[in-house]
Amino acid sequence: MGQVHKRFSNEQVRVLFQSYCQRKITRNDLQELLGIEKTRFFALLKSYRQNPQAFSIVYRRQSPRRLSARVEAQIQSALLRERQIIENPDLPISDYNYTALRDRLIKKGIEVSVTTIVDRAKKLGCHKPRRKRKPHDREVLTASIGALVQHDGSPHLWSPFAGEKWTLITSIDDYSRKILFADFFPKETTWAHIQATERLIQTYGLPLRYYVDSLRVFRFVQGRDSFWRKHILQTDDTDTQWRKMMRLLGVDVAFALSPQAKGKVERPYRWLQDRIVRTCVYERLSTLEEVRSVLKEEVHRYNAHQVHSTTGEIPNIRFTKARQTGNSLFRKFTIPKPYSSAHDVFCLRESRTVNGYRRISLFNHSIEVPNVPLFHDVDVHLVPNTSTKLMNIRIWWKDKMVHTVSLPLQSFRVHF
């Protein structure tokens, strides 16, 4: 079959790519119509998206330039380093990422194509055959931003120089695929997920629904009865600390019953994981703050520069467009009555009974509670402050805060 520019005009190909971006024609049909392979197709698509008006299929043939010995040495060194990462059993990386390697070389002022890197990789034995993947049949099920926020945590050894695992907690909007929140926490705890939810809600507002897995932080899951034990409380008969907060805010919660059901948030995880781990290895990063800066850069790249394979749009642009047109289910966050502080919303909750000495017992602490009748129940709101190393305690009775006190955080031997 003849070359594309000899069989079609610029305007004809421009109209065809416009139809593809509007989902009026599939990639396979368009490739067959143009008579090109996948690599050529995506090269033309990238050129069209960069500037649809100036798009042209006419090109000038150039003789390939030979790479210098210095560039060849840099590519070889990067590939061998990549192989060390793949072969390290402690790191959550199992495949080569030649695109990430190309981007790293560009930062050093070396511009080479992925095809060139793959060619050198095969010669050096730094290559794995591509695994067969299922056809891309994903679709956006929501019609507005804020309709569904997918939320998850992922503990990994993000840097081999850190010597400990950290947990990456992220939240992604289903409609726009924008990562609304992403940050590292030393441990995956209830308090970490409460903090992540608070920061998202304070920034964007209250979404309609959260989509999470059945981790004990989100859901009380009881096992089956046995010969030795009969369970009284069943799954969802009691609320976790995180679920109590969501009920108070009026945000619905849906649960994924399998890892496959969380694919929309798992794929950005893998992308971030792949890039962040490699950067940590190459730059020898070891502290949480250093890795946080890498995370911030990669989230910005994902949200502001990458066209999502499902939506066909850049997440930030899709999110902003929906917000400007009023296609949003985010609600303004207001502190629910009778509370007057966000500390009473985003907190850990306990219930205690005032004893005959007008005191309550809280994790081996005896706390005086004034102005509350004996043997009445009070609500205790706990707000850990890791920066000041204090546990702020706010005690409520009959919709009124009756006492507040701060105690050393280290004295609370509780895994929050």
What is the tens place of the pLDDT at every residue in 190-228? Answer: 999 999 999 999 999 999 999 998 778 887 665 544 545
Other Cβ atoms within 10 Å of 168 Cβ, number: 21
Note the pLDDT tens digit of each residue in 304-330. 988 887 888 999 999 999 999 999 999
Q: Give me the residues paired with residue 173 across strands.
A: 149
* pLDDT classification of 393: cutoffs 50, 70, 90: very high
Average pLDDT value for residue range 232-254: 81
Average pLDDT value for residue range 339-362: 94
Other Cβ atoms within 10 Å of 276 Cβ, number: 23
Q: What is the pLDDT of residue 93?
A: 81
CA distance 83 to 122: 12
Which value, to the nearest 10 degrees, does the dihedral of the CA atoms of residues 198, 200, 202, 203 take?
Answer: 160
* pLDDT classification of 359: cutoffs 50, 70, 90: very high
Other Cβ atoms within 10 Å of 291 Cβ, number: 23
Note the pLDDT tens digit of each residue in 126-176. 888 776 665 544 555 789 999 999 998 888 888 888 888 999 999 999 999
Name the residue with higher pLDDT: 380 or 238: 380
Interacting residues of 47 by C-beta distance below 8 A, sequence separation 6+? 55
Residue 197 vs residues 184, 257, 350: alpha-carbon distances, Å = 14, 21, 20
CA distance 33 to 388: 65
* pLDDT classification of 85: cutoffs 50, 70, 90: confident
Note the pLDDT tens digit of each residue in 23-80. 888 988 888 888 888 888 888 888 888 888 888 887 655 555 688 888 899 999 889 8
Shortest CA distance to 234 belongs to which of 213, 212, 219? 219
Looking from the CA of 39 toward its CB, the CA atoms found within 13 Å total 3
Residue whose pair of structure tokens reads 């995180």 in the numeric block: 242
- pLDDT over threshold 50, residue 232: no
Q: What is the mean pLDDT of the chain?
A: 85
Q: What is the pLDDT of residue 172?
A: 93
Other Cβ atoms within 10 Å of 396 Cβ, number: 19
Note the pLDDT tens digit of each residue in 255-268. 886 655 555 566 77
CA distance 54 to 405: 66
Shortest CA distance to 93 belongs to which of 349, 299, 269? 269
Interacting residues of 31 by C-beta distance below 8 A, sequence separation 6+? 37, 38, 41
CA distance 213 to 151: 8
CA distance 67 to 151: 45
Q: What is the pLDDT of residue 291?
A: 93
- pLDDT over threshold 90, residue 1: no
